[in-house]
Copies of this chain bind each other. A is one copy, B any other.
């Protein structure tokens, strides 16, 4: 059982390879009749072009590489699904490399993109200056689009969200329901944290509410059980302040979704004692107890737009003189019982 190649197809048809090739590619210099004959025979013999040979010849692989720090978590998998979908629609495939939040692994992943096996790269850097020189090397050869963690010094298209607006709206909502004292739980990614923190501060300014320094809290721990402990400590400390907060705003998915568990364990009433809301992209927000008010990121859009922009770069002849776009998608807010009882 040997593979059908152009050559074998040509032999079976008593024609030359080039005729067959042109016929299959609908060249105008081939008669309709032969085209039809060729295509029928191709279908008959289950001919499939060898994409490797095609790519070697054309220099295009119809493949785009994705390098991202993690792929568990609803946020990441939703982005990946968006990418996967947009890519397959436009006849591209996706190969994923996981940097596992590790700069060295990220370097290896990036390096493997230089071998002509992908037409473009979608990159979510671990932090704002990880592997920058490598990235600059890569972008000399293939187009790159930065997504999610867009605070990265590379001149190219970027696709992320309006981080500061998300926290701003959340604060506004909390103010509206009478919670003026809002603690904010920050995550480990500096660029994103900074943006979201800025929205929090700007909201306070605009509404003339003072920012209490002690309300800004950093959760640095990685494992879930440890995170629970760390958050317990923070909450106990906050509630014993002379002026304890009435709400907690979380700026990272893991922190947000696990906070309710911690509060339940401490038997703190939500939202009466502490209202809770934060960035989170899981369906489960609806099924938590109480259901969780969230700031939701348009993950699928991020993925799809990133892919579309990348593909447009790939097909563009002179990439050098492009005006780079820093696309910031709006977040949206779902109000549920963790803030409005």
Contacts and interface: CB of A to CB of B under 8 A. Distances in A.
Interface string A73-97: 1101110110011001000011111
A284 B283 contact: no
A209 interface: no
Contacts of A282: 284
Given A51-B115, A287-B260, A72 B63 contact: no
B55 A52 contact: yes
Contact of A50 (B76, B112, B115, B224): B115
Contact of A51 (B49, B84, B98, B117): B117
A288 interface: yes
A332 B338 CA distance: 32
A3 interface: yes
A238 interface: no
A140 B1 contact: yes
Interface in A56-72: 56, 61, 63, 70-72
A116 B52 contact: yes
Interface in A251-293: 257-262, 264, 282-284, 286-291
A53 B56 contact: yes
Nearest to A72: B77
A284 B264 contact: no
A53 B57 CA distance: 9
A313 B212 CA distance: 62
Contacts of A262: 287
Interface in A113-131: 114-117
A16 interface: no
A188 interface: no
A25 interface: no
A70 to B, nearest CB: 8
A88 B77 contact: no
A96 B95 CA distance: 7
Contact of A77 (B55, B76, B84): B76
Given A51-B115, A283-B224, A291-B261, A80 B85 contact: no
Interface string A18-60: 0000000000000000000000000000001111110110000
Given A1-B140, A88-B98, A225-B286, 7 more contacts: A51-B115, A74-B74, A84-B98, A258-B283, A260-B287, A287-B288, A289-B289
